[in-house]
């Protein structure tokens, strides 16, 4: 009885001869039988070497792992230790204390007595007009004094730089600014009291 065909289609008859039996093509023609010489093995019939360990590795996800059946009923290992439990309790206590502090109404706590109000802060930020005026007068008097010194230097034959000449030119402007603030050309305050003093000094003493 002929054997089963191999991967290449070779059949071995009862006498031990190997051949590929005749077959029909798609167009209806007959393909003749082919005799195979003794000892020849076509590439299709060569068995591929299989590494048993590699095959098991490739099939590790296709089925149960050998020897893993007994691990299914084992309870999971205890992962939490005593110190971990203590740390968890501390974190929970801190979280509750923080939540209680946030829930406490802010209006229950009275404001400190010495805390400055918005009005006080606004008043402290507002500049004092008198202080600003005195500061501006001092600045103008200083500039006027320097300009007059440079003018005297120029009249004495000295040489001035361009920025020094610009200061000399501004003498009249500085005097006008002082006059607008109530001061004379010497930087002294103007007023009736000063005039009255001068008048009293000019009058002869009464006998």
CB 2 within 8 A of CB 13: yes
- Tokens (6 digits) for 189: 């305050």
| Domain range annotation of the chain | 147-201
- Tokens (6 digits) for 95: 């979280």
pTM: 0.33
- Tokens (6 digits) for 113: 């007595």
CA distance 178 to 186: 9
pLDDT of 193 reads: 46
pLDDT of 14 reads: 80
- Tokens (6 digits) for 40: 């020849």
Nearest by Cα to 139 from 105, 174, 180, 191? 174
pLDDT of 109 reads: 52
| Ranges of the chain whose pLDDT falls below 50 | 77, 107, 192-198, 207
pLDDT of 191 reads: 65
């Amino acid at each position: 009885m002929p054997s089963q065909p191999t991967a290449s289609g070779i059949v071995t008859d009862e006498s031990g001869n190997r051949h590929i039996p005749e077959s029909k093509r798609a167009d209806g023609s007959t393909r003749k039988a082919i005799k195979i010489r003794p000892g020849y093995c076509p590439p299709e019939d060569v068995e591929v070497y299989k590494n048993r360990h590699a095959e098991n590795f490739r099939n590790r996800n296709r089925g149960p792992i050998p020897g893993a059946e007994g691990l299914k009923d084992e309870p999971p290992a205890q992962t939490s230790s005593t110190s971990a439990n203590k740390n968890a309790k501390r974190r929970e206590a801190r979280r509750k204390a923080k939540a209680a502090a946030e829930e406490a109404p802010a209006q229950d706590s009275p404001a400190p007595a010495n805390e400055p109000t918005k009005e006080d802060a606004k008043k402290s930020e507002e500049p004092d007009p008198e202080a600003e005026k005195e500061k501006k007068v001092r600045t103008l008097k200083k500039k006027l004094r320097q300009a007059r010194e440079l003018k005297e230097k120029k009249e004495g034959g000295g040489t001035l730089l361009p920025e020094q000449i610009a200061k000399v030119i501004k003498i009249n402007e500085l005097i006008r600014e002082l006059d607008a603030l109530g001061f004379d050309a010497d930087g002294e305050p103007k007023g009736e009291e000063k005039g009255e003093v001068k008048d009293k000094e000019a009058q002869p003493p009464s006998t």
